[in-house]
Amino acid sequence: MDYEFLWRPVFQALPQLLKASLVTIEVSILSMAIGLVIALFLFFARDSNVWFARFFANIWIEIARNTPALFQLFFFKFGLGAIGIIIDSYITVVMALAFNTAGYMAETFRGGFKAIPNSQLNSARSLGMTFVQAQCYVVIPQVLRAVWHPMTNQFIWVMLLTSLGMLVGLRELSGETQFLYSKTFRAFEFFAVTALIYYCIAKLMLLLFRLIAWRLFRGQ
C-alpha cells in the first residue's frame, strides 16, 4: 500500500462542492415539501369513501414503500424516457423523491391522525368550522407535532437519498464529487470530504428542525 493522500485538489474544488451542496439542499427541501403535501392527500384519499381514491392512494403507498428508491428514480428518468417523455434531471430527482417520501409520510400521518381524538374534530365542527377549516386549524397542527420526529428523520433520509441524483446526471453534491474525482482520481479524498459535508448538512437540518419545533410548539 503506497497510496499517498493528496488533499490539495479537494481544497481547490471546495467552492464547487459547496455550490453543489446548495443543489442538494434545494432538491431535499423541494421534494420533502411536495412529498408532504401529497402525503396528506394520500392519507385523506385512503380514508375517503370514494373507492377509486382509496385504490389510487394504496397503489402509490405500496409502490413507494416496497420498491427501491433507485428504481423509482430510474422509472421517472429512463422509464418515462423510453416512451418519449424526457424530463430534466433536476426535476426527475425531485419527482422521484417526492413520490417516495409521500408514500412513507402517508403512513406516518396515519399514525399521527390516529393520535388525535375525534372529539377535537367534533368540537371544531360544533363551532361552525368547515371540515377543511377544522383540519387546517385544529387537527393538522396537532398531527404535525405528533409526527415531528419521524418527519425530521424522513427529511434527513431524503437529503441523503438525493445522492442518487448522480446516477441520472444531476450535479448535486455526489454528482459533483463523482465528476471531480474522475478528473483528479483522488477518490478517497473527495468522497471523504463529501461525506463530511453531508454530515454537516444533516446536523444543520436537525438544528433547524429543532429551532422550528421550539418556535412552533412552545407552551405545549
Partner 1 sequence: MIEIKDLKKSFGELQVLKGIDLTVNNGEVLSVIGSSGSGKSTLLYCINALEPIDSGSILVDSISVHDKATDVNKLRQKIGMVFQQFNMFPHLTAQENVALAPRKVKKMSKKDAMDLAARQLEHVGLGEKVDSYPSALSGGQQQRVAIARALAMEPSYMLFDEATSALDPELVGEVEDTMRMLAKEGMTMILVTHEINFARDVSDRIAFFHQGRMEEINSPDQLINHPASEHTAKFLSNVR
Q: How much is the CA Rg of the chain, to the nearest whole Å?
A: 21
Residue 180 makes CB contacts below 8 A (sequence gap 6+) with 9, 10, 13, 16, 17, 190
Task: Find the part of the chain contacting partner 1 (CB under 8 A) among 65-73, 162-170, 192-200, 212-220.
Answer: 212-220
Task: Find the part of the chain contacting partner 1 (CB under 8 A) among 15-23, 58-66, 129-137, 182-190.
Answer: 129-137
**Contact, 102 vs 42, CB < 8 A?**
yes
Residue among 122, 182, 200, 211 that touches partner 1 (CB under 8 A): 122
Please state, in angstroms and rounded to a whole number, the distance separating the CA atoms of residues 53 and 42.
8
Residue among 12, 48, 133, 182 that touches partner 1 (CB under 8 A): 133
Residue among 16, 142, 153, 184 that touches partner 1 (CB under 8 A): 142
- If binding is defined by CB under 8 A, does position 220 make contact with partner 1? yes
- If binding is defined by CB under 8 A, does position 215 make contact with partner 1? no
Q: Give 63's Cβ-side CA count (13 Å radius).
A: 14
Residue 138 makes CB contacts below 8 A (sequence gap 6+) with 120, 121, 124, 129
- Of 12 and 126, nearer to partner 1 (C-beta) is 126
- Of 195 and 211, nearer to partner 1 (C-beta) is 211
- If binding is defined by CB under 8 A, does position 119 make contact with partner 1? yes
- If binding is defined by CB under 8 A, does position 49 make contact with partner 1? no
Please state, in angstroms and rounded to a whole number, the distance separating the CA atoms of residues 175 and 198.
13
Interface positions with partner 1 (CB under 8 A): 117, 119-120, 122-130, 133, 137-138, 141-142, 145, 217, 219-220
